[in-house]
Amino acid sequence: MFDLRRREFITLLGGAAAAWPLAARAQQPAMPLIGFLDSASFEMRRNQLVSFHHSLNEAGYVEGRSLAIEYRYADGQYDRLPAMAADLVHRPVAVMVAGGPNAALAAKAATATIPIVFESGIDPVKLGLVTSFNRPGGNVTGMYLFASVLETKRLELARELVPKGAVIAFLANPTYPGAETQITDIQAAARALGQEIYILKASNEGEIDAAFTALVQRGAGALLVGADPFFNTRRDKLIALAAHHAVPTIYNWREYTVAGGLMNYGTNLVDVYRQLGDYTGRILKGAKPVDLPVLQPTKLQLVINLKTAKTLGLELPAKVLALADEVIE
């Protein structure tokens, strides 16, 4: 009888001992989970992610130690975003980070309670993401890059590169929410400058090929590529086609110029994602999106790739070179 009771006691003790670590673990708070919803691709976002993580680390959040992140990349296929957003909501995530206006719209449609931190090249008030810049309202805040409204400045730069009277082409993606605004703005700017503008549209790789064929046939002297995450995911293709057809091309982001594009004028995305990381860290610590104003970049940059200019046989005007914030040689 003694041996039986002893065995029962030891078994009970062993079971309790095994349960203690589980109970202790159960009392520890789970790591917060971030949902990273991106209109573009991992390859496009690689450098920005380093900056994003750096800001999170400064706030005390390290992925795999004190933070978990679920990544979803649409690779420029915007119709995939709603399902991706719904999946992240069902996880559920503590914060959703949205890269690009399409991702931000999908995230907002998926949840009215989970905080959302976005970046958008389109005015977020006009897009319906927030009610105002200072008091965003609801569960959404982030950063407005005003990428679309910079098309006029890019047009002025393009005019410096081509002979007077030359046609300048503009490439837009009709599935991008800001495409019509981009086209309207660039046409208005062209009229004001007395510049002939040739509008091209592409939302898949075949249409990109066709657009370059059309601009060559039209004899366009230069090309402007509209701000759009889909184009970002086809960055190398665009740069290769511009080189093949020897068309001076101006882009939005520094990543294009570093990869071999001629030049870009716009916001530094590394700085943008550093700020998104800061806002995400603040929200994880208890801040509310409604109390975090939508930010705008304080600095724009013109980056020029001199090697590409030489390959194109293009002698850049001294005026343009003097404006450059960075020259890649």
Residue 193 located in a structural domain: yes
Q: How far apart are CA 194 and CA 165, in angstroms?
A: 9
The confidence score (pLDDT) of residue 147 equals 72
Together in a domain, 142 and 174: no
Indicate whether 113 and 253 sit together in one domain: no
Q: 225 and 155 in contact (C-beta within 8 Å)? A: no
217: tokens are 């046939």
Q: Is residue 93 part of a domain?
A: yes
Q: Are residues 240 and 170 in the same domain?
A: yes
Domain assignment of residue 130, given as a range: 33-146+269-298
User: What CATH number has the domain bearing residue 256?
Assistant: 3.40.50.2300
173 and 310, same domain (yes or no): yes
How many domains are contained in the chain? Answer: 2
In order along its 329 residues, the chain shows pLDDT tens digits of 434 443 443 344 344 444 444 444 444 558 999 999 999 999 989 999 999 999 999 999 999 999 999 999 999 999 999 999 999 999 999 999 999 999 999 999 999 999 999 999 999 999 999 999 999 999 999 999 987 678 888 999 999 999 888 999 999 999 999 899 899 999 999 999 999 999 999 999 999 999 999 999 999 999 999 999 999 999 999 999 999 999 999 999 999 999 999 999 999 999 999 999 999 999 999 999 999 999 999 889 999 999 999 999 999 999 999 999 999 99
The answer to whether residues 47 and 194 belong to one domain is no
From CA 278, how far away is CA 204, in angstroms rounded? 34
The reply to whether 322 and 210 lie within a common domain is yes
- Report the run of H or E that residue 284 belongs to, with start and end: helix 269-284
Whether residues 39 and 187 fall in one domain: no
Q: Is residue 28 part of a domain?
A: no
Q: Are residues 169 and 236 in the same domain?
A: yes
- Contact by Cβ (8 Å): 179, 227: no
Q: Give the closest residue to 127 by CA, choosing from 160, 143, 104, 107.
A: 104
Residue 279, domain member (yes or no): yes
Secondary structure (3-state) at 107: helix
Q: How many angstroms separate the CA atoms of 191 and 210, rounded?
A: 26
Residue 16 lies in a domain: no
Q: Are 30 and 68 in contact (CB under 8 A)?
A: no
pLDDT value for 179: 92
Cα dihedral 16, 22, 25, 26, rounded to 10, equals -100
**Domain assignment of residue 1, yes or no:** no
Claim to verify: residue 231 and residue 128 sit in the same structural domain? no
In a shared domain, residues 241 and 122: no
Please report which helix (H) or strand (E) contains residue 84, including its range: helix 81-89
Q: What is the pLDDT of residue 148?
A: 65
- Does 5 fall in a domain? no
Same domain, 168 and 51: no
**Which helix (H) or strand (E) segment is 120 a member of?**
strand 116-120
Q: 166 near 220, Cβ under 8 Å? A: yes
Crossing angle for the helix pair 179-193 and 151-161, nearest 10 degrees?
A: 50
Residue 272 contacts residue 145 (beta carbons within 8 Å)? yes
Residue 22 falls inside a structural domain: no
For residue 29, the model assigns a pLDDT of 58
Question: Do 316 and 262 share a domain, yes or no?
Answer: yes
